[in-house]
Amino acid sequence: MTSPTPLHFHVPEPASRPGGKPDFSGVSIPKAGSVRRPPVDVLPEEIRDLAYSIIRVLNHEGRAIGPWVPDLSQDELVAGLRHMMTLRTFDARMQMAQRQGKTSFYMQHTGEEAVSCAFRIALGPDDMNFPTYRQAGLLIAHDYPLVDMMCQIYSNEHDPLKGRQLPVMYSSKKHGFFSISGNLATQFVQAVGWAMASAIKRNHRIAAAWIGDGSTAESDFHAALVFASTYKAPVVLNVVNNQWAISTFQGIARGGSGTFAARGLGFGIPALRVDGNDYLATYAVAKWAIERARLNLGPTLIEYVTYRAGAHSTSDDPSAYRPKHESEEWPLGDPVIRLKQHLIAAGAWSEERHKQTEAEILATVIAAQKEAEAFGTLHSGGKPSARDIFEDVYAELPPHLRRQRQQIGV
């Protein structure tokens, strides 16, 4: 049979572009509390529907409802709010520092703070994250010193990474934070290997893999799913769907799959989709997946539905590719405001305390910044040595690098 019309080439388009009206009518959002909570040993085929839904806890009034309400005390929630506020303030200061020429580059988390901050709290102290550049909440919520983060951003003499890495590409084994590569998706599969190692060694530690919506298109993502599935690796596979990959909307990476969570289904990996701007839901879902991994039940894929409210990085201007006010129309709101409202509704917080806390956090971040800047910024003050170029290429400096180091006289 011959087809009546010739083939045509399909290229997905976002719902709207600059000059158009923001349109999220395609994002269907279930009511808070409406999605069931299966036991952690559920069979993947019994929860296929959860890959297409969104688990939500906080409703419009800021009340926590339904089966996924986590057992977090009010003090823990206040701490979570402070983590998110700290990350946001940190971002604002470092963004400004980049604009002031104190460093070359910065990447913000605006709108996505809940994802990494809540996940860190759900994770154990000996577990390992394989993060991307947009999960600094994993450090902040784990009390990594702000000064050290800033020194890395400034590439100064106190930079733990000796000036070698691009700003925000932190690394801290002690804080369960694997060195960030900069090459997308490469670490997603490494997390699976780390988890396999923990199983081989019959340990209790688990791994968390992190990736953005756009980067799930890389082969490494799919390799990670195969290995995680085959070896039932104790790993949580986190996909942060913030709707954008620089200028490319999530439909380009997602294709016909419906959701990113659904990517797990063909691999027999249970997949959950969660409101990534809901601190409580994010924590609860993370906890569920972490428990599964710890009980030797294997991997879980989690898609965090969120929105990148800021630019991709300091090198980017989103007004060139998405409607200017798109972020204001994002139907899942702002994670900081939502947790704040929840705490106020629960009688554990007030506008006044919030303002005070904001001021207090700003003072803390500014103090850390002063301290960091005393060690230098990218173009002035203390610097890592040119010697540091040659160290750590190998465990021992080989003769050819010794010669090269001599050539620059350090």
Partner 1 sequence: MPSYRRICVGSASRSEFDAMPRMTMIEAIRSALDVSMARNDDVVVYGEDVGFFGGVFRCTQGLQQKYGVSRCFDAPISECGIVGTAIGMAAYGLRPCVELQFADYMYPAYDQIVSEAARLRYRSAGDFTCPLVIRMPTGGGIFGGQTHSQSPEALFTHVAGLKTVVPSNPYDAKGLLIAAIEDPDPVIFLEPKRLYNGPFDGHHDRPVTAWAKHELSEVPEGHYTTPLGKAVTRRAGEAVTILAYGTMVHVALAAVEETGVDAEVIDLRTLLPLDLETIAASVAKTGRCIVLHEATLTSGFGAELTALVQEHCFYHLEAPVMRVTGWDTPYPHAQEWDYFPGPSRLGQALRDIVETR
Binding positions for ligand TPP, 70-109, rule CB under 6 A: none
* Partner from ligand TPP, Mg ion, partner 1, none contacting 28, C-beta within 5 to 8 A by type: none
Nearest to 279 by CA among 238, 328, 338: 338
On whether the CB atoms of residues 403 and 397 are closer than 8 A, the answer is: no
Q: According to the binding rule CB under 6 A, does residue 245 interact with ligand TPP?
A: yes
What are the respective helix, strand and coil percentages of the chain, to the nearest 5?
45, 10, 50
CB of 81 to ligand TPP, least distance (A): 23
Task: Name the residues that contact partner 1, by CB under 8 A.
Answer: 8-9, 11, 13, 17, 104-105, 155-156, 159, 163-167, 169, 181-185, 214-215, 217-220, 245-248, 252-253, 255, 315-316, 320-321, 378, 383-384, 386, 388-390, 393, 400-401, 404, 408
Helical axes 74-99 vs 279-294, angle rounded to 10°: 110
On whether the CB atoms of residues 185 and 130 are closer than 8 A, the answer is: no
* DSSP one-letter string for 277-306: T-HHHHHHHHHHHHHHHHTT---EEEEEE-
**313: Cα within 13 Å, side-chain hemisphere:** 14
Q: Residue 215 or 369: which CB sits closer to ligand TPP?
A: 215
Which of helix, strand or coil describes residue 395?
coil
* Partner from ligand TPP, Mg ion, partner 1, none contacting 298, C-beta within 5 to 8 A by type: none
Q: Residue 56 or 158: which CB sits closer to partner 1?
A: 158
Side chain identity at 25, as an amino acid letter?
Answer: S
* Partner from partner 1, ligand TPP, Mg ion, none contacting 134, C-beta within 5 to 8 A by type: ligand TPP
Please give the residue whose beta carbon sits closest to ligand TPP in the complex: 212
Q: Residue 201 or 403: which CB sits closer to partner 1?
A: 403
Q: Residue 5 or 219: which CB sits closer to ligand TPP?
A: 219
Q: Residue 72 or 208: which CB sits closer to ligand TPP?
A: 208
Nearest to 86 by CA among 11, 34, 142: 142
Where are the extended beta strands (E) located within 66-185? 128-130
On whether the CB atoms of residues 114 and 279 are closer than 8 A, the answer is: yes
CB of 334 to ligand TPP, least distance (A): 17
CB of 214 to ligand TPP, least distance (A): 3
Selected range binding Mg ion among 48-56, 167-175, 234-242, 364-372, rule: CB under 5 A: 234-242
**Which of 148, 213, 278, 326 is close enough to bind ligand TPP by CB under 6 A?**
213
Binding positions for Mg ion, 201-220, rule CB under 5 A: 212-214
Binding positions for ligand TPP, 164-193, rule CB under 6 A: 182-184
Pairing state of beta strands 128-130 and 207-212?
parallel
CB of 238 to ligand TPP, least distance (A): 12
CB of 237 to Mg ion, least distance (A): 16
Q: How many residues bind ligand TPP (CB under 6 A)?
A: 14
CB of 308 to ligand TPP, least distance (A): 5
Pairing state of beta strands 235-241 and 300-305?
parallel
Helices (H), 137-241: 137-140, 146-154, 186-200, 219-230
Q: Residue 89 or 242: which CB sits closer to ligand TPP?
A: 242
Q: How far is CA 263 from CA 200, 254, 260, in A?
A: 26, 9, 5
Nearest to 237 by CA among 277, 209, 216: 209
* Partner from Mg ion, partner 1, ligand TPP, none contacting 383, C-beta within 5 to 8 A by type: partner 1
The neighbouring-strand residues paired with 305 are 241, 275
Residues at the site binding Mg ion, with contacts judged by CB under 5 A: 212-214, 242, 245
Contacts with ligand TPP, residue ranges (CB under 6 A): 134, 182-184, 212-215, 242, 244-246, 308, 312
